[in-house]
Structure 1
């Protein structure tokens, strides 16, 4: 009996040890946010990232997260196998999905954060779904396609207490911090006017939608690519790049470059929400005195004027001019004939009561004007720099996500990126209003042209031209739920 009892005890101990080991192993592979609740990660852990949109910019974003040395790429999702190929090869252990909804549904317990790098029209629905699962999110610029979406994501970041970052990496450059220090030291006085300009678009715009549908590549799930956008036939030369020039999917040159060039004015002057906007756009003529009408396409060029109310950093309103399509502001008289304005094709110019300063794309290489002033600047650094500047933007988010919500600062959280994106989309609202048609008794007019739009920020609406409000919030395609917090 003793022997039998001893054998039984030994067996029980073995079963206990075996069971405990299995339980311990299972415990160890669960992401630490499960143990500490949404937004929590132990500082000793690596961040487990799931990528939605893993080709092109998505591919480079994932590589930068991995190169931080503190992140692992756990899951990959893309609607186009061709675009995903490099990431699949680079991260062979990452499980691959085509439908981001399926990935979030099946795998949300197995990762901590999500990178969104898809066409603009799907950013918001993908990011919000991840945030509602308690996932930290990194979203490519522009944050959203619509003003309403930007407002929702800004509120969601606070509600769900997750670490957020928009992919305007110039926000982590030294430039914005240096310009803040110069401005606060009084080197250019009180800024009242800002210009930002770009040579983009570098894709077709101001053109009619193709009238010939094409065969859908077998590697592409066209329905998933469309996502929230209206149902349309597949056409050539839309995927993977030129969608930027079509309003159903992209946000034009403003969406592409605005976050890089207008970030510095927001940072330096503490701008938030515009109160007025007006626009003029470039024309495309298809015959003698016959202007082309292509409302589905962004225009070839535009000049938009936004007015922002007085902030804690200014003495009065600030007027911000945006120019694209190669249009540039008048060259400052302080800049000599052969000195480069901005970086040539792009730049930002601050005009103050005592002087001017300018920067390049990503707020890089800020300079006082005239350039001779830069030889003897004696302003002590006041704001901490991000290690590696723009390249450190990714690691900054990874480390902040590991630390947990509210523990570490990031350069472009949604509380900053949301209002910045809204400014760009306000500009687009004015641009799109340019093509609103009204026909009465056979006569066509364009009431949105040459009109200053007055903005009620609290209610998110234009108060003096109601037709423009259709661009504040769009209806998603059937089967794709509209955003709700």
Structure 2
């Protein structure tokens, strides 16, 4: 891939080169192997290090045959290959899908955010069921493209947001929707992210690309840039605009999911950067931010009108104001104070109701 290949062309090429999915998160299935519907299915797994490594192992534990593994880092690929010795190995998902397309039913995608749509749209257009790690895509347009492609092809899909499949979140939604805490006027979500570098510019210089790394495939649909050791691959990509979606994209799908579902917070009428130094040189998300989303009256789950409310997001060490923190249990206030004293950053979700 050359530096002239733009994002739209890469995704277009990926698309044109052309169940039991609910258990991909690794939930235990109490079935004998001989009776599991998953035993007859095969999967190709894209991105098999870190979370991708556990995603691959989880579906294998449910009886899915792992037919192919793909990772741009051949060291990572070789390590996972020792677990699945019969799986064919690739360092470019396009090559893998072209070769293995008629041999697999399921494709998992656990890559950096910027390649989710490119990989999944191609796979869906080949009729493959998809398990894609969160956040679903790098951009809103790509999320719409993914949804449209899933509807067009009729495949089964799931995003890797495991907490949404657990009882705790669902019970909390029911408690709020029952009216137990009254009308909600404010939501405050604070995150311990980022835990990677943010707030700087692009590093100077260039390092040799390791022999084990397919840098072109890692860059994928993003504009080409020099390889710099430790700057992007294999973990710090989340802070870069071209590859990740920052603290909000990484964690909001977990920590805001409960109040969003409970209170139908889909369409804000205004978003304000309360405290945000902005994207640095068009390259990297800010080191910290505080955002406010304003929601109007809207219809709730039971058809009743929900009152307007404000939704606050804090990252990079920012916290809700003291009048909100002071309402927390004493044990959690102690943890917040420890953060203020220089300790580990905390995460939390506070829903303020009239009761």
TM-score (normalizing by structure 1): 0.59
Alignment of 1:27-426 (within 5 A): 43=37, 45-68=39-62, 70-237=63-230, 238-283=232-277, 293-309=280-296, 310-313=298-301, 315-330=306-321, 331-340=324-333, 345-354=346-355
> Equivalents in 1 of 2:166, 2:335: separation in Å?
16
Give the structure 2 partner of residue 383 of structure 1: none
- In structure 2, stretches of 5+ residues that fail to align are 1-35, 337-344
**Contact map agreement 2:173 2:259 (CA 8 A) in 1:** no
The separation in 2 between residues aligned to 1:229 and 1:316, in whole angstroms, is: 41
Q: Hey, what does 1:482 align to over in structure 2?
A: none
For 1:219 and 1:204, locate their aligned partners in 2 and report how far apart those are by CA, in whole Å: 24
Q: CA deviation at 1:64?
A: 1.4
Larger radius of gyration: 1
- The corresponding residue for 2:28 is none
Deviations 1:270-302 (A, max 9, x none): 332333212144559xxxxxxx95331111001
Alpha-carbon distance in structure 1 between the residues aligned to 2:347 and 2:117: 28
Question: How many residue pairs are counted as aligned between the two chains?
Answer: 305
**d(CA) in 1 for partners of 2:274, 2:299:** 27
Question: Secondary structure at 1:76's aligned position in 2?
Answer: strand
CA distance in 2, matches of 1:49, 1:271: 35
Gaps of 5+ in 1: 1-41, 285-291, 355-485
Q: 2:274 touches 2:292 (CA, 8 Å); kept in 1? A: no
**Which one scores higher on RCO, CA 8 angstroms, separation ≥ 6?**
1
Alpha-carbon separation, structure 2, partners of 1:95 and 1:44: 20
**1:116 positional shift:** 0.4
Contact 2:132-2:160 at 8 Å conserved across structures: yes
Change (3 A) 1:229 1:281: farther
Residues 341, 96 of structure 1: alpha-carbon distance in 2 compared, 3 angstrom cutoff: farther
Equivalent residue number for residue 27 of structure 1:
none
- Give, in angstroms, the shift of residue 208 of structure 1: 1.7
**What is aligned with 1:408?**
none
Work out the CA distance in 1 between the residues paired with 2:66 and 2:333: 41
Q: Secondary structure at the match of 1:215?
A: coil
What secondary structure, in the 3-state scheme, does the structure 2 residue paired with 1:202 have? coil
Deviation at 1:44, TM superposition (A): 6.7
Relative distance call for 1:82 and 1:161 in structure 2 (3 A) is same
| Root-mean-square deviation (Å) | 2.2
Structure 1 residues 54 and 312, CA, compared in 2 at 3 Å: closer, same or farther? same
User: What is the alpha-carbon distance in structure 2 between the residues aligned to residue 298 and residue 136 of structure 1?
Assistant: 33
| Map of 1:359 onto structure 2 | none
